[in-house]
A and B are shown apart, each in its own frame.
Chain A
Amino acid sequence: MQRGSSFASMEAMRILSTTIYRNGRFSVDGKELARSAGDLDHDLTKAWTAMEVELPRFVRMDRSSKLVSIAAAPFFAADGALSKYPKDRIGMVIMGTHGSMDTDQRYLDQLEAENHASPGLFVYTLPNIAMGELSIQHGLHGSGLCLLSDAPDIPQLHDACDILLHDHDMEAVICGWSNIFAGSAEATFMVVTAGKEGNWDNDELERIFNEHG
């Protein structure tokens, strides 16, 4: 269901490419790129090594940043969906439920157990740091929005992309859902542009974003 009467006034949006990460399995536009069934850290590393795109900052990132970096990396490959867009015209809209809580918990556990606040962990205890890492990794100076929601909110993602494309003058937006908590990781990322032939379908996206396993 597309939202409200306002929808008619908006311009069409076109999804160019989609990546999906679900607990060790990573696919790009339906093609499986990596599959692993170890623990979370092992699986993320496995997906990273399968990447064609260099991610030199990967090893020092927290898990949430690693997940976002992996999910967006194929878009930056030589033949990737973003390869032709100027770096300062690429925006980011990243949504999740737990934000940085995976790292928040680690930081807090250490603070409680040892009365030591780790600066290295603390700098990752904000939900938008993964987006910041993505911007640094690829030199993206554009607009960005870190959103939190109980579940993938497709109408919110739509409106956020519309604002970045038409109010913040981005030419493409990396738009996705990324969540990591309690040893489980999932991400669904897309490249969205303001194409004439729109293919944004709320029902279809609800299905893709909420597919588990």
Chain B
Amino acid sequence: MRVVLGSAHVVSPIGEGLAASLQRMREGGSALQHIALSDGPAAVVGKIPEDLLAPGPDRLYHLVDRVLGNVLDDLDRPQLNERWGCYIASTKGDIEALASADPDHARLPFLADHIQRKAGFTQRPWIISNACASGTSAIAIAGAAIARGHIDHAIVLGVDVLSRFVLRGFQALHAVSEAPCIPFDAARNGTSLGEACAAVVLTNDPAILKNKLGTFLGGSIAHDANHISGPSRTGEGLVRAIQGACDKAGIKASDIHAINAHGTGTDYNDGMESIAFERCELSAVPMSGYKGWFGHTLGAAGILESILALEALDRGWVLRNEGLVNAGVPGKVNALLKDERTTGDLLLKTSSGFGGCNAAVLLRAWKP
């Protein structure tokens, strides 16, 4: 059975929509910017422009509504009956509500209720919270649910917004760079936090999609079983996730045309990934991470980056690592310094997160 992706929409620090975001990435530099915090160290973050998302306590919900509305408008049959699933990927949802008069609104199921009401799903949405691997995990699970016949269609939506809660925590772990993050660079010095909402429809009936993006070939999730906040030195969990996804998709490593990596810009993460890619015999494959443009968007990252990497491949491009000057990681990888033309269509997307969780999906760009 063919599982097709399409009718996607994104709002991130680089703007709104697939075509505009891709053009922005091709022609412009990083959207990461310095912000001042009243009670903590200054930081560089990726923030969604205020003309797209006004400040206020409900900005998470306004962001979700905007993306969801665009996705529903892009469907030919937007009746979300029991054959539709909804998979929400988020690490912290509306965590700022924890300090408000309604702390219970910080519960992630509160976000699921909102989305179910807003979109009119008959089924209760799933919330997948696999740390920074949430988004890629959600694509893997939604694709499998359709392949297994549980459902026919799914909306997969990832969202996380900037919060003092998370920023101060990453700073306390010395994981945040004082300058815009540069994934895979020898001088990388930490990540930059970002925020985004990204959503895509997966379906076994491509006729419902006004815009098609690609096909889902297979996915996998694996654990390092090593450390809760640091990646495995050997890339064990990521290697297992990549191999699992390849087995499921029935493809060999040598078939892969492009890798969209997690690429946080931290020493350990990027080093671990490079080792895992080399172990999987992917050293020659054009590889990039997109966080240099918009930062680490946590639970949204896997979905945002998958969508943008597919859109790029659809148009014949593998994009660079923004900001990368001098690649310096322990494993042998082909980290792109410049955007490259390609006729290939097979994308490997990977994500890794706290808890030692790794996820990988194989996606094929749309060839009508």
Contact = CB atoms under 8 A, between A and B. Distances in A.
Whether chain B is bound by chain A comes out as: yes
A108 B318 CA distance: 41
Contacts of A98: 107
A142 B224 CA distance: 9
A142 B148 contact: no
B356 A167 contact: no
Interface stretch (B64-72, B129-137, B273-281): B129-137
B139 interface: no
B171 A141 contact: no
Interface in B145-167: 145, 147-151, 164-165
Interface in A93-113: 97-99, 101, 104-105, 107-108, 111-112
Contact of A143 (B92, B222, B227): B222
B325 interface: no
A132 B113 contact: no
B95 A104 contact: yes
B83 to A, nearest CB: 8
A163 B173 contact: no
Contact of A123 (B103, B147, B165, B228): B228
A206 interface: no
A144 B221 contact: yes
A156 B82 contact: no
Contacts of B220: 143, 168
Nearest to A133: B228
Interface stretch (B55-63, B236-244, B260-268, B306-314): B236-244
B355 A167 contact: no
B149 A136 contact: no
B150 A6 contact: yes
B223 A123 contact: no
A108 B220 CA distance: 34
B151 A128 contact: no
Interface stretch (B16-24, B120-128, B179-187, B333-341): B120-128
A125 B237 CA distance: 21
A133 to B, nearest CB: 6
Contact of A153 (B124, B129, B145): B124
Contacts of B113: 150
A140 B131 contact: no
Contact of B98 (A105, A149, A168): A105
Contacts of B223: 132, 135, 140-144
B129 A147 contact: yes
Contacts, number: 174
A146 interface: yes
A10 B145 CA distance: 11
B169 A107 contact: yes
A153 B85 CA distance: 14
Contact of A156 (B126, B164, B169, B224): B126
Contact of A104 (B106, B226, B240): B106
B248 interface: yes
B82 A148 contact: no
> Which of A4, A132, A145, A156 is the most central at the interface, judged by chain B CB atoms within 10 Å of its CB?
A132
Interface in B104-127: 106-109, 112-113, 124, 126-127
A123 B98 contact: no
A169 B145 CA distance: 14
A55 interface: no
Nearest to B109: A150
Interface of B: 39-40, 82-83, 91-92, 95, 98-99, 103, 106-109, 112-113, 124, 126-131, 137, 141, 144-145, 147-151, 164-165, 168-173, 220-229, 236-237, 240, 244, 247-248, 353-357
Interface of A: 3-4, 6, 9-10, 88, 97-99, 101, 104-105, 107-108, 111-112, 115, 117-119, 122-129, 131-133, 135-136, 138-150, 153, 156, 159-160, 162-163, 166-169
A-B pairs with lowest CB-CB distance, top 6: A132-B355, A122-B169, A117-B168, A167-B144, A117-B172, A123-B229
